[in-house]
């Protein structure tokens, strides 16, 4: 049962049986390119094992297309100021996902692509205000992929929906300025904060879910691990020609260094520090959750000669998943810098968020 389908309150424990889990344990012990390195010889049999791997790992055939969605209307408009996000700019055109308008990307000639419910817009602007917010910055420690690892904002939504039982034990990792917010959450919903620090734990422990955190002070049992550390959402700004770099002096994030004179970045997207101490990434920590790439895989890739962020991206698949690198770029680039590789952010392309191809069909 998915977490979003479960009713509030205690749930009966039903042991899950995954017959393919032993195969998964074996696969996790090898880097992503283990198979191709060993199946390329003998040359005459090269095609057979690779074909078998492609067949076994391929998706199920697509269902036949039963109906065609009606194409959207397409329109071009010109504005003085366009805003992406929740910034308050009187008289400006606003593309805010919360209001049902998705900014797809920034295109040449200062054009903002916007998708609404029934229209595709090409918005030509003179000035652009970017207030795209931020994302969770995962701690580079083992167990960062366990169910029960939440961002602070997600924990607040679950609590408002009644999905967090009173007495739930919370371990919180966040900078000092966000501690009052987690305190208010705990007080309002009867949650218990059992561990809180700006220093990441050594490990998040558990088998099927979060059960404890292991830090320098020892092991603390908990039910949730809540993250208050954020990575600025800079991908849209990068499409418009802004430059970003990996920060130093604290846990690294990808932050903007320079923006065009017609662009203004506001709010959380303009952050320049994570606000928490740096931590050495553990080999067993996930760098890329979408593509199952661990920190140890990134290091092995660099040792094999792929000493460039774009090469690592193509070799391991890191930063190519549904999140488009939003959750993993900082960890991957920090690992590359540790290995002596210049941590240049990879290219950001439109669309800025995943969108179905059918949504982009429009009649001009």
* pLDDT confidence bin for 359, thresholds 50/70/90: confident
pTM: 0.80
What tokens does 332 get?
């991957």
Q: What is the mean pLDDT of the chain?
A: 87
The residue out of 112, 131, 150 marking a domain boundary is 131
Task: Say if 11 falls within a structural domain.
Answer: no
Q: The domain containing residue 315 runs over which residues?
A: 280-344
Angle at 27 between CA 26 and CA 31, to 5 degrees: 125
pLDDT tens digits for range 40-70: 566 666 566 666 766 666 656 656 655 566 7
Q: Tell whether 152 and 207 lie within a shared domain.
A: yes
Q: Is residue 334 part of a domain?
A: yes
Cβ(74)–Cβ(363) under 8 Å? yes
Per-residue pLDDT reduced to its tens digit, 8-48:
555 555 656 677 778 777 766 666 556 555 655 666 665 66
> Is 314 within the bounds of a domain?
yes
pLDDT at residue number 10: 57
In a domain, 149, yes or no: yes
On whether residue 219 sits in a domain, the answer given is yes
- The predicted pLDDT at position 49 comes to 63
3 state SS of 248: coil
Q: Distance between the two ends of the chain, CA-based, in angstroms?
A: 44
Same domain, 155 and 89: no
Domain total in the chain: 3
H-run or E-run covering 123 = strand 119-131
pLDDT for residue 357: 82
Q: Each residue of 332-350: pLDDT tens digit? A: 999 999 999 999 998 888 8
Q: What's the CA dihedral at 65, 70, 76, 77 to 10 degrees? A: -130
- All residues at 6 or more sequence positions from 98 whose CB lies less than 8 Å from its CB, including other chains: 86
- Amino acid 4: pLDDT: 45
SS3 194: strand
């Amino acid at each position: 049962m998915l977490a979003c389908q479960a009713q509030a309150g205690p749930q009966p424990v039903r042991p899950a049986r995954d017959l393919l889990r032993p195969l998964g344990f074996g696969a996790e012990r090898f880097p992503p390119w283990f198979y191709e390195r060993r199946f390329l010889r003998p040359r005459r049999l090269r095609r057979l094992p690779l074909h078998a791997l492609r067949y076994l790992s391929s998706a199920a055939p697509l269902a036949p297309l039963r109906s065609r969605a009606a194409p959207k209307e397409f329109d071009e408009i010109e504005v003085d100021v366009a805003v992406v996000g929740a910034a308050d700019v009187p008289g400006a055109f606003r593309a805010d996902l919360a209001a049902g308008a998705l900014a797809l990307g920034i295109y040449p000639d200062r054009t903002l692509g916007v998708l609404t419910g029934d229209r595709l817009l090409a918005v030509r602007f003179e000035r652009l205000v970017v207030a795209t917010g931020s994302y969770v910055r995962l701690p580079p420690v083992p167990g960062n992929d366990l169910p029960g690892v939440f961002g602070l904002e997600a924990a607040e939504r679950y609590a408002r929906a009644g999905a967090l039982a009173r007495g739930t034990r919370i371990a919180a990792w966040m900078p000092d300025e966000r501690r009052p917010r987690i305190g208010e959450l705990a007080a309002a919903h009867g949650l218990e904060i059992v561990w809180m620090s700006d220093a990441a734990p050594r490990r998040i422990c558990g088998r099927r879910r979060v059960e404890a955190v292991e830090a320098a002070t020892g092991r603390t049992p908990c039910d949730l691990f809540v993250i208050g550390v954020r990575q600025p959402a800079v991908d849209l700004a990068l499409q418009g020609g802004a430059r970003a770099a990996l920060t130093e002096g604290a846990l690294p994030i990808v932050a903007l260094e320079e923006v065009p004179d017609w662009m203004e970045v506001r709010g959380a997207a303009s952050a320049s520090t994570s606000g928490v101490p740096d931590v050495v990434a553990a080999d067993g920590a996930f760098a890329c959750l979408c593509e199952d790439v661990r920190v140890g895989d990134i290091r092995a890739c660099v040792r094999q000669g792929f000493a460039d962020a774009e090469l690592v991206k193509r070799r391991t698949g890191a930063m190519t998943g549904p999140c488009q690198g939003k959750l993993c770029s900082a960890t991957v680039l920090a690992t590359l810098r540790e290995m002596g590789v210049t941590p240049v952010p990879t290219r950001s392309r439109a669309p800025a968020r995943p969108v179905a191809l059918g949504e982009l069909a429009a009649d001009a």
